[in-house]
């Protein structure tokens, strides 16, 4: 049995959300007052999570990315990492984080088996950071980036979301800064996954606009051909070898080569970030289901994956869960 859908896509990459909670309040992701958090008794224990990840690796998953919410708020995150890398299939483990706890944790996570990290940073200005995230943690994120590099996590990628009139003018400065610090920058188009339902295609900063802004600032950008299943289109900067990535999820979707599935912190198995249905694995798991039964549920959900996310369709509706409760 493998994780193959009716469009023939084979799934190899699993995103696991470790928690839906967060230490920041990025305005495109979480309201100031937070959200109705997943109840504690619904959260998978580390043992339950590792069992499901183990089943998924036997179905062909070879890379696991830990995310959230803020995954470093999970107290036993290093045990999760160590447990995954010691599975017989030894999947590669990476992490997407806001970086705030990396100064204290980067070495421990690297020792546990973490290989790579994506750190989110949308601005180089401390005031803009506070306005965007409602927290005064800009310098903690910078320290987290340095800690990740010093711990030997490589590459360190930076995820940036641009908001019109807030930080969209910073694209060239962010790229210059990333090149100077040997960081791999990726801009992500804002997606309709916010709990406030404020997303509007008309005000989203598009892939085209980002490219134009970088080129107008004097960067020579040449597309790379070997994209594979990566969500980011990579461009060589000024002749390379450095690159900048753009994840044009909305205006240039990459659904045809998608190889990702998701497991939420409360044990829902999802075939797409935008899916409006999901498979509850926690209930059968806790009712004593065997590995074969859980594997069959995973495979069936993947088979039901739609060919595309449908954001451009006039009748598109956001999933019930926001990004932070799915795992971005």
Ligand X SMILES: C[S@@+](CC[C@H](N)C(=O)[O-])C[C@H]1O[C@@H](n2cnc3c(N)ncnc32)[C@H](O)[C@@H]1O
Which member of 19, 167, 184, 190 binds ligand X (CB under 6 A)? 190
Among left, alpha and beta (phi > 0; psi -120 to 50; other), residue 15 is beta
Give 246's DSSP letter.
E
Phi, psi (5° rounding) for residue 186?
A: -135, 125
Q: Which of 14, 29, 77, 84 binds ligand SF4 (CB under 6 A)?
A: 29
120: tokens are: 């989110």
For the sheet with 184-188, list strands across it. Answer: 221-223, 233-237, 243-247, 184-188, 156-161, 116-120, 92-97, 63-67, 13-17, 260-263, 268-270, 279-280
For residue 260, the cross-strand partners are 13
Q: Are 60 and 295 in contact (CB under 8 A)?
A: no
Going residue by residue from 90 to 129, which x/- string records binding to ligand X, judged by CB under 6 A? ------xxx---------------------x---------
As beta bridge partners, residue 17 has 67
Contact flags string 54-93 toward ligand SF4, x per CB under 6 A: --------------xxx-----------------------
Please choose which of ligand X, ligand SF4, none residue 190 contacts, taking the beta carbon within 5 to 8 angstroms, the exact cut-off set by kind: ligand X
30 binds, among ligand SF4, ligand X, none (CB under 5 to 8 A by kind): ligand SF4
Which region, judged by CB under 6 A, interacts with ligand SF4, from 18-26, 185-193, 232-240, 285-293?
Answer: 18-26
Smallest distance, ligand SF4 to C-beta of residue 70, A? 5
Q: From the list ligand X, ligand SF4, none, pick the one residue 248 interacts with, judged by a Cβ distance below 5 to 8 Å according to partner type.
A: none
Residue 191 binds ligand X, judged by CB under 6 A:
yes
Residue 231 CB neighbour total at 10 angstroms: 20
Residues that bind ligand X (CB under 6 A): 22, 28-29, 67-68, 70, 96-98, 120, 159, 161, 188, 190-191, 193-194, 323-324, 328
């Amino acid at each position: 049995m493998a994780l193959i859908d009716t469009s023939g896509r084979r799934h190899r990459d699993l995103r696991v959300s470790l928690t839906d909670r967060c230490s920041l309040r990025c305005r495109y992701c979480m309201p100031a007052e937070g959200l109705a958090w997943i109840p504690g008794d619904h959260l998978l224990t580390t043992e339950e999570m590792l069992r499901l990840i183990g089943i998924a690796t036997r179905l062909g998953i070879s890379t696991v990315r830990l995310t959230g919410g803020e995954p470093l708020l999970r107290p036993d995150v290093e045990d999760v990492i160590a447990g995954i890398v010691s599975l017989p299939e030894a999947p590669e483990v990476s992490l997407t984080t806001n970086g705030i706890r990396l100064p204290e944790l980067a070495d421990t996570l690297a020792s546990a088996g973490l290989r790579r990290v994506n750190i989110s940073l949308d601005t180089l200005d401390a005031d803009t950071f506070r306005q965007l995230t409602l927290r005064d943690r800009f310098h903690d994120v910078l320290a987290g980036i340095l800690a990740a590099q010093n711990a030997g996590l490589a590459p360190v990628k930076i995820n940036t979301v641009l908001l019109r009139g807030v930080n969209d003018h910073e694209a060239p400065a962010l790229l210059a800064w990333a090149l100077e610090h040997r960081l791999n920058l990726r801009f992500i188009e804002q997606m309709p996954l916010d709990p406030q339902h404020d997303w509007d295609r008309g005000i989203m900063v598009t892939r085209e606009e980002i490219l134009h802004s970088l080129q107008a600032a004097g960067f020579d950008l040449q597309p790379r051909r070997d994209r594979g299943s990566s969500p980011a289109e990579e461009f060589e900067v000024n002749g390379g070898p450095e690159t900048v990535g753009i994840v044009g999820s909305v205006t240039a979707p990459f659904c045809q080569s998608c190889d990702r599935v998701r497991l939420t912190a409360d044990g829902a198995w999802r075939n797409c970030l935008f899916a409006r249905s999901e498979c509850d694995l926690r209930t059968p798991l806790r009712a004593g289901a065997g590995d074969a039964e859980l594997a069959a549920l995973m495979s069936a959900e993947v088979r039901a994956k739609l060919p595309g996310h449908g954001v451009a369709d006039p009748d598109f509706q956001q999933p019930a869960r926001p990004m932070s409760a799915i795992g971005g």
